[in-house]
């Protein structure tokens, strides 16, 4: 065999070896700072993928809102600026209004995965947004209203928002405005601490987990019960980036995501109870809407969310396709 042929074969072998050893790399961002427990959950998922996907697929985390603003991250994924984001679906509600199914849900990712609800959301994400919905993480955690000042009731026993400067973001708006009659101030999570400190706002909604991570408990003295809503944190990928991955890489990502859906839902259910008890032990007082007033409060949160989803879906060419199916699959308990 001549030297030129040997050299050619050697180069071909090297190229084949290099191609076989190629690792799919995914760039990722997360909505909240690393100190927040939700971000820590996502980073645990990343570690699991990188361990199981060694030599096949790796997630490279670029950072959080300091890299790309939390409300800009969904479009950054959609446009291919980054491949992946761990974000609240509420940040792209105008594009995928069906995400309200998670917000209004009385279930969690475990049930919604088993009954096909998450697969349905994935189909909708692909069609409407050009993204692949990998998983609904940290699900089943409810929200409460938290206030600096003692809440008051109106003459009918309902919560009064008179004198309440209520911070909001897209997930709360329909409920706060349509039912409570509030004119809330829209602020991103990263600005709420200083707003509470300066008394720009004196009330906010937040989940039952993570208030201490944000240090908002330094200012907030009351928790209003009953709770409402459900968290809608999840992972989306640019659809072209997803399709470009090897089959093995896609299998690893989906497998780990489904495992993390279950693990995080189970862990956060316990953690929510523990953290609420911890806040009460530290002096937070519970202001409970009793009887029919509490029932009206809870029902209004669900109805406002489903109605918002319906109105937004009607403006899309797909119309109300999947509306009834989403209600069925995300109210499965």
For residue 77, being part of any structural domain is answered with yes
Claim to verify: residue 175 and residue 263 sit in the same structural domain: no
DSSP for 179-248 reads: IS---PEE--HHHHHHHHHTTS-SEEEEESS-HHHHTGGGT--EEEEEEE----EEEEEEHHHHHHS-HH
Q: How far apart are CA 177 and CA 33, in angstroms?
A: 28
What is the pLDDT, as a whole number, of residue 333?
54
Please check whether residues 239 and 209 belong to one and the same domain: no
Whether residue 256 sits in one domain with residue 188:
no
* 97 domain-assigned: yes
Q: Looking at the domain assignment, is residue 16 inside a domain?
A: no
pLDDT of residue 13: 44
Kindly state whether residues 111 and 221 are assigned to the same domain: no
Residue 18 domain-assigned? no
For residues 8 and 10, give the distance between their C-alpha atoms in angstroms, rounded to a whole number.
5
Would residue 157 be called left, alpha or beta, if left means φ above 0 and alpha means ψ between -120 and 50 degrees? left
pLDDT score recorded for residue 78: 97
* pLDDT computed for residue 106 by the predictor: 86
Which of 217, 241, 269 finishes a domain? 269
Same domain, 91 and 123: yes
Q: How many CB atoms lie within 10 A of CB 318?
A: 13
CA separation for the pair 232, 55 (Å, rounded): 32
What pTM did the predictor assign? 0.86
pLDDT confidence of residue 245: 98
* Contact (Cβ atoms closer than 8 angstroms) between residue 125 and residue 96: yes
Residue 313 CA from chain centroid, whole number: 20
On whether both 134 and 251 belong to a single domain, the answer is: yes
Beta bridge mates, 143? 207, 228
Q: Write out the chain's pLDDT in tens, 333 residues.
A: 555 544 444 444 444 444 445 999 999 999 999 999 999 999 999 999 999 999 999 999 999 999 999 899 999 999 999 999 999 998 998 899 999 999 999 889 999 999 999 999 999 999 999 999 999 999 999 999 999 999 999 988 899 988 899 998 777 888 888 888 888 898 988 899 999 999 999 999 999 999 999 999 999 999 999 999 999 999 999 999 999 999 999 999 999 999 999 999 999 999 999 999 999 999 999 999 999 999 999 999 988 889 989 999 998 888 899 999 999 999 865
Residues 202 and 253 in one domain: no
Shared domain for 197 and 223, answered yes or no, is yes
Residues 55 and 160 in one domain: no
What pLDDT is recorded for position 15?
45
pLDDT reported for residue 62: 98
What is the CATH number for 208?
3.40.190.170
Instruction: Examine residue 10 and state whether it is found in any structural domain, yes or no.
Output: no
> Does residue 7 lie within any of the structural domains?
no
Tell the burial category of 201 from Cβ atoms under 10 Å away from its Cβ (0-12, 13-18, 19+). buried
Last residue of a domain, one of 219, 251, 269: 269
- What DSSP element (H or E) covers 158? none
Q: How many domains does one find in the chain?
A: 2
Residues 135, 151, single domain; the answer is: no
- Number of Cβ within a 10 Å radius of residue 79: 10
For residue 260, the model assigns a pLDDT of 98
Same domain, 165 and 175: yes
- Domain housing 58: 24-139+232-269
Per-residue pLDDT at 4: 55
Last residue of a domain, one of 218, 253, 269: 269
C-alpha 269/C-alpha 101 separation (Å) is 19
**Residues 246 and 290 reside in one and the same domain:** no
């Amino acid at each position: 065999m001549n030297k030129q042929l040997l050299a050619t074969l050697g180069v071909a072998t090297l190229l084949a070896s290099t191609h076989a050893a190629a690792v799919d790399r995914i760039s990722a961002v997360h909505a909240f700072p690393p100190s927040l427990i939700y971000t820590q959950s996502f980073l645990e998922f990343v570690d699991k993928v990188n361990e199981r996907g060694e030599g096949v697929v790796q997630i490279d985390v670029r950072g959080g809102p300091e890299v790309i603003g939390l409300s800009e991250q969904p479009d950054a994924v959609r446009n291919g600026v980054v491949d992946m984001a761990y974000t609240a679906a509420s940040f792209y509600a105008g594009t995928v209004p069906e995400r309200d199914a998670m917000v209004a849900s009385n279930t969690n990712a475990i049930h919604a995965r088993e009954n096909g609800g998450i697969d349905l959301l994935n189909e909708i994400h692909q069609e409407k947004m050009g993204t692949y919905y990998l998983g609904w993480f940290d699900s089943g955690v409810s929200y409460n209203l938290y206030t600096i000042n003692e809440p008051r009731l109106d003459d009918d026993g309902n919560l009064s928002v008179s004198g309440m400067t209520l911070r909001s973001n897209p997930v709360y708006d329909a409920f706060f405005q349509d039912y409570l009659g509030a004119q809330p101030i829209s602020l991103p999570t990263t600005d709420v601490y200083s707003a509470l400190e300066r008394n720009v706002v004196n009330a906010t909604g937040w989940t039952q987990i993570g208030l201490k991570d944000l240090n908002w408990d330094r200012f907030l003295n009351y928790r209003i019960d009953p709770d409402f809503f459900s968290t809608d944190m999840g992972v989306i990928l640019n659809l072209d980036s997803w399709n470009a991955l090897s089959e093995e890489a896609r299998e690893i990502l989906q497998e780990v995501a489904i495992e993390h859906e279950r693990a995080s839902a189970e862990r956060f259910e316990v953690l929510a109870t523990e953290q609420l008890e911890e806040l009460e032990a530290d002096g937070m007082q519970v202001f409970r809407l009793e009887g029919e007033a509490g029932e009206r409060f809870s029902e209004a949160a669900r109805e406002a969310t489903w109605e918002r989803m319906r109105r937004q879906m009607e403006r899309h060419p797909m119309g109300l396709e999947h509306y009834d199916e989403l209600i069925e699959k995300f109210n499965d308990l």
